[in-house]
Amino acid sequence: MRKRVLSATFSNGRVAQLVEQRTENPCVVGSIPTLATIFKMRGVAQQRRPSSHAPPGTISRGFPLTAYGNGFQDSRQMEKILLSILGEFLGKLIFMAIGAAVGSTTGCENESREFVLVPEYDKVESATLKPGLLGGKTLPPTYASPDGMAIGPDGCIYVSVTQRASKHKYPAKIIRITPNDTVENFFTMPVNKATGKACPMGLVFDAKGDLYVADNQSSLTKEPGQSSLYRITIEEGKAVRAEKVATGINAANGVTRWGDHIYVAESNLRVPGENLSGVYRFAIADLKAEAPVTVTGRGDPRLITAIQTENKARRGANGIDFDSKGRLYVNNFGDSEVRRLTFDSANGPVSKSEIFARFDPTVVKCVDGLHIDNKDNLWIADLAGNAILKITPEGAATIVARNAVSDDADGALNTPSECIRRGAKLYISNMDIGEIPRKNATQTISVLALGNEAK
Map out the domains of the chain with their CATH numbers.
Answer: 2-109 (no CATH), 120-454 (2.120.10.30)
* pLDDT score at 136: 87
* pLDDT score at 130: 80
In angstroms, the Cα distances linking 148 to 29, 176, 276, 427 are 33, 11, 22, 11
Q: Which of 8-12, 355-359, 409-413 has the lowest mean pLDDT?
A: 8-12
Q: Return d(Cα 309, Cα 273) in angstroms, integer.
A: 12
Q: Which of 5-14, 51-60, 152-161 has the highest mean pLDDT?
A: 152-161
pTM of the full structure: 0.75
pLDDT in tens, 141-164: 999 999 999 999 999 999 999 999
Q: Return d(Cα 298, Cα 141) in angstroms, integer.
A: 39
CA 227 vs. chain centroid, Å, equals: 16
DSSP letter, residue 179: T
Q: Would you say residue 81 has pLDDT above 80?
A: no
Q: Which of 83-92, 114-123, 214-223 has the highest mean pLDDT?
A: 214-223
- Percent of the chain at pLDDT > 90 equals 60
Q: Return d(Cα 211, Cα 193) in angstroms, integer.
A: 21
Q: Return d(Cα 3, Cα 108) in angstroms, integer.
A: 30
Q: Return d(Cα 215, Cα 231) in angstroms, integer.
A: 11
CA-atom Rg of the chain in angstroms: 24
Cα–Cα nearest to 376, from 362, 361, 391: 391
Strand order in the sheet with 261-266: 252-258, 261-266, 276-283, 303-308
Estimate the share of the chain in helix, then strand, then coil, as percent rounded to the nearest 5.
Answer: 15, 35, 50
* pLDDT score at 9: 24
* pLDDT score at 55: 33
Residue 350's DSSP bridge partners are 343
Q: Would you say residue 280 has pLDDT above 60?
A: yes
Q: Would you say residue 367 has pLDDT above 50?
A: yes
Q: Return d(Cα 232, Cα 209) in angstroms, integer.
A: 9
DSSP string, 19-49: HHHHHT-TTSTTPPPPHHHHHHHTTB-----
Cα–Cα nearest to 328, from 313, 312, 339: 339
* pLDDT score at 98: 40
Q: Return d(Cα 116, Cα 108) in angstroms, integer.
A: 20
Q: Would you say residue 75 has pLDDT above 70?
A: no
The residue type of 221 is T
Q: Taking residues 356-368, report their average pLDDT.
A: 92
pLDDT in tens, 91-142: 555 444 444 443 343 344 444 333 333 344 333 334 457 888 898 888 999 9
pLDDT band at 11, cuts 50/70/90? very low
Residue 345 vs residue 155, higher pLDDT: 155
**In a 3-state reduction of DSSP, which class is residue 419?**
strand
Q: Return d(Cα 398, Cα 450) in angstroms, integer.
A: 12
Contact (Cβ atoms closer than 8 angstroms) between residue 154 and residue 178: no
Helices and strands per DSSP (H, E), number in the chain:
3, 27
Q: Which of 86-90, 340-344, 423-427 has the lowest mean pLDDT?
A: 86-90
Q: Would you say residue 275 has pLDDT above 70?
A: yes
Strand order in the sheet with 183-188: 146-151, 157-161, 173-177, 183-188
pLDDT in tens, 245-257: 999 999 999 999 9
User: Which pairing describes strands 227-235 and 211-215: parallel, antiparallel, or unpaired?
Assistant: antiparallel
Q: Return d(Cα 283, Cα 304) in angstroms, integer.
A: 13
DSSP letter, residue 33: P
Cβ of 136: how many Cβ atoms within 10 Å? 10
Residue 451 vs residue 61, higher pLDDT: 451
* pLDDT score at 434: 60
Q: Return d(Cα 435, Cα 405) in angstroms, integer.
A: 11
Q: Would you say residue 62 has pLDDT above 60?
A: no
* pLDDT score at 376: 97
Q: Which residues of 56-77 are buried (b: 16+ CB within 10 A; e: fewer)?
A: eeeeeebbbbebeeeeeeeeee
* pLDDT score at 342: 97
